[in-house]
Amino acid sequence: MSAEMQNYIDEAEKALLHTYNRYQVVFDKGEGVYLYDVDGKKYLDFVAGIAVFALGYHNEEYNDALKGQIDKIIHTSNYYYNVPAIEAAKRIKEVSGMDRVFFTNSGAEAVEGAIKTARKYAWLKDGRTDHEIIAMNHSFHGRTMGALSVTGNPHYREAFEPMIGNIKFADLNDFDSVMAQVTDRTCAILFETVQGEGGIYPASEEFMKKVRALCDERDILMILDEIQCGMGRTGHMFAWQRYGIKPDVMTTAKALGCGVPVGAFLMTEKVGSASLVAGDHGTTYGGNPLACTAVCKVIELFEKQEVPANAAKVGAYLEKRLDEIVAEFSSVQTRRGVGLLQGLVFDKPVGDIIKRAMDKGLVLINAGTNIIRFVPPLVIEEKHVDDMIGILRECIAEAEGEQQ
Ligand SMILES: *Cc1c(COP(=O)(O)O)cnc(C)c1O
């Protein structure tokens, strides 16, 4: 590392609140599926800013659209209409099949909005203020108090108790465990279609369909968090679209703006017409013209470049290559995932392997201690998968060698 890069890192550690154990690298720019640090070293990127930069870096058309909007207007207020927000709302309705959208600045805020929607919907029906939400163990929904309250990892919540209350936890893909938590006050069942941070666990089709039927029967809202698994990553625009069901409410963020901070919660007309009204919810920045220009361009380029289809194709290839790794190395136990959202489960912490990969110019990230997560840009090609696998094999072999 150059003295210049070390100096940046030292400065960062003096000024930024230490809420991350950061990797020792300062990234400077990106080109396609590659990142460059301030020393000019090139890295193949299998993280994409954690499932964000789906289009690859330095996409001219995307960048030009943003530059054009910056010169027009960046922000107005949600008290006025703006053209990019109108267009973005129309486009996201088309690709999701949902009817109403509220734009936020982040994933956590989208989850907050979904929780408020569910509580208001239930309150309008019976006037009670003790409604319950069922969320899942090992889930992740964000760091704000409401989103944290439905995050099924006690470690994230412990120091920040009390949570918002009336949240119950069940196990993904265990319908009986959900039934065990249902009461006459249950207003929503909330989960990620594919659990991301919690270890890359896809919801089973059977579970999806049973939850959908239960929610229909009791007028409980089915809320799917598509913040990580959505936007083309599983081969469908939204991961739930491969199950032949539809949620009542869904959240999205991460790749929605491909780097410009924007999220959204969406709902069907049934929910939209019987939940939040003027005065119930708001945001200063959410859905501003710059953010919505990004959303419009992302959806347009996803369609034009057939990004979800590429994720399905290259995702299948990635699966195959990762399965070879499972067969080859004793420290690798299994692979889980859908499309370009994959996890490789090890019998030990993966920090060492990720550091070795960084040294060799490959950016990887974990999900939990023992899992390497693969969430590359969705424009990735098979040759990039081959390059990644080559470096990964070296790193695992080295790590296994040192252990003996
Ligand atoms: C990242 C993530 C969030 C939180 O999004 P932020 O933009 O970091 O607030 C919520 N849910 C899931 C499934 C996520 O992966």
Domains of the chain with bracketed CATH: 3-55+306-403 (3.90.1150.10), 61-304 (3.40.640.10)
Q: 1 alpha carbon to ligand 1 midpoint, in Å?
A: 32
197 CA closest ligand 1 atom index? 15
Say yes or no: CB of residue 107 within 6 Å of ligand 1. yes
User: Would you state the pLDDT for residue 402?
Assistant: 84
Rounded to whole angstroms, how far apart are CA atoms 226 and 79?
A: 28
For residue 31, give every residue at least 6 positions away whose Cβ sits within 8 Å of its Cβ, in sequence order, or none: 57, 58
Say yes or no: CB of residue 142 within 6 Å of ligand 1. yes
Q: 7 alpha carbon to ligand 1 midpoint, in Å?
A: 31
Q: 90 alpha carbon to ligand 1 midpoint, in Å?
A: 23
Say yes or no: CB of residue 106 within 6 Å of ligand 1. yes
Q: 400 alpha carbon to ligand 1 midpoint, in Å?
A: 33
Say yes or no: CB of residue 85 within 6 Å of ligand 1. no
Helix H or strand E encompassing 89: helix 83-96
Structure tokens at 141: 């929904």
Among 105, 115, 141, residue to substitute to test ligand 1 (most atoms within 8 Å of Cβ): 141
Nearest to 33 by CA among 56, 63, 62: 56
Structure tokens at 211: 């939850």
User: Would you state the pLDDT for residue 404?
Assistant: 63
CA-nearest residue for atom 6, ligand 1, is: 107
Whole-structure pTM over 0.75, yes or no?
yes
- DSSP-based three-state secondary structure for 156: helix
Q: 199 alpha carbon to ligand 1 midpoint, in Å?
A: 14
Rounded to whole angstroms, how far apart are CA atoms 153 and 262?
A: 25
CA–CA distances in Å: residue 387 to residues 168, 278, 318, 362, 384: 44, 52, 11, 9, 5
Among 191, 254, 262, residue to substitute to test ligand 1 (most atoms within 8 Å of Cβ): 254
- The burial class, CB within 10 Å (0-12 / 13-18 / 19+), for 339 is buried
261 CA closest ligand 1 atom index? 7
Rounded to whole angstroms, how far apart are CA atoms 323 and 371?
A: 14
CA–CA distances in Å: residue 176 to residues 167, 171, 202, 205: 17, 9, 18, 15
Structure tokens at 111: 């989850």
Say yes or no: CB of residue 141 within 6 Å of ligand 1. yes
Structure tokens at 254: 């991460």
Q: 324 alpha carbon to ligand 1 midpoint, in Å?
A: 31
Say yes or no: CB of residue 112 within 6 Å of ligand 1. no
Q: 82 alpha carbon to ligand 1 midpoint, in Å?
A: 26
Q: 39 alpha carbon to ligand 1 midpoint, in Å?
A: 31
Q: Which positions of the chain have pLDDT values less than 50? A: none
Rounded to whole angstroms, how far apart are CA atoms 13 and 35?
A: 22
